[in-house]
Amino acid sequence: MTKLSVNINKIATLRNSRGGDMPNVAKAAVDCVRFGAQGITVHPRPDERHIRYSDVYQIKPLLDVEFNIEGNPIDKFIELVCKVHPAQVTLVPDAHDALTSNAGWDTVANAAFLKEVCRIFHSEGIRTSIFVDPDPVMVRGAADAGSDRIELYTYAYAHNFSAGREEAVAPYFKACSEAVKCGLEVNGGHDLNLDNLAYFKKVMPRLDEVSIGHALICDALYMGLEKTIAAYLDQLK
């Protein structure tokens, strides 16, 4: 079964919009696990507009499931990850002012840099995943850099799903197949939801984990967090 990692950034965004500690981000992480999530994802950005670095330190000892920290591997981020020691780090090429992740790595142009970052995290015993567009060339580049996994940037699939799911998923099938050839494990994330998740899972040759935040938290406003997590897990069976 593909694991569901819940990205709790949006809960932190709500907290930060008012100040104080409501909703409590650490409690939300624990509750997600209690309701069945097999992992928790956070994406601290340098401006800390949602998840704060202090949140990351607070959450880690509360979890008995996989902790995945996403972010652009600037020095401050690398230091955080090496201190916290999550199960997985996902490298995302976010600009400092990016609203949300909007592209995967050019693993060819950044080959030397990514190889060195993977070396650092591997020396700490941390599994490394590289965020890539559905391009077999970029997948091979991630493998050459020494990554353990890729995370496929699924925005294009989600955006084009309603117009034709077969065409929307085709590039992802090719990229995923290349990952399998390269010996990489495969994650997926960005705009996956209750409408498009099951089909994506069905078609992919391999899908180890999905990281879902925005859509899941939006659904939870209507369904409640427990029922929403159960619904997403059902899509992954």
- The tens digit of pLDDT for each residue in 143-197 reads 999 999 999 999 999 999 999 999 999 999 999 999 999 999 999 999 999 999 9
Tokens read off for 15 = 């907290």
Degrees to nearest 5, angle at CA 232 with 177 and 92:
55
3-state secondary structure of 130: strand
Asked if residue 86 lies in contact with residue 60, where contact means CB atoms within 8 angstroms, the answer is: yes
Residue with tokens 């069976």: 237
Task: Return the domain boundaries, the chain.
Answer: 3-235
Q: What percent of the chain has pLDDT over 70?
A: 97
Is the pLDDT at 96 greater than 70? The verdict is no
Q: What is the overall mean pLDDT for the chain?
A: 96
Cα distances (Å, whole numbers) of residue 73 to 117, 165, 185, 190, 198: 7, 33, 20, 19, 31
- Residue 97 binned pLDDT confidence (cut-offs 50, 70, 90): low
Average pLDDT over residues 207-221: 98
| CATH architecture of structural domain 3-235 | Alpha-Beta Barrel (3.20)
Q: What is the pTM of this model?
A: 0.95
What amino acid is encoded at 89 in this protein? V
Catalytic (active-site) positions: 43, 70, 190
Cis-peptide into 171, omega within 30 deg: no
d(C-alpha 182, C-alpha 203), whole Å: 19
93 contacts: CB under 8 Å, gap ≥ 6: 72, 103, 104, 105, 106, 110, 131
Give the pLDDT mean for 99-126.
92
Which has the minimum average pLDDT: 47-51, 52-56, 88-92, 192-196?
47-51
Q: Provide the pLDDT for residue 103.
A: 85
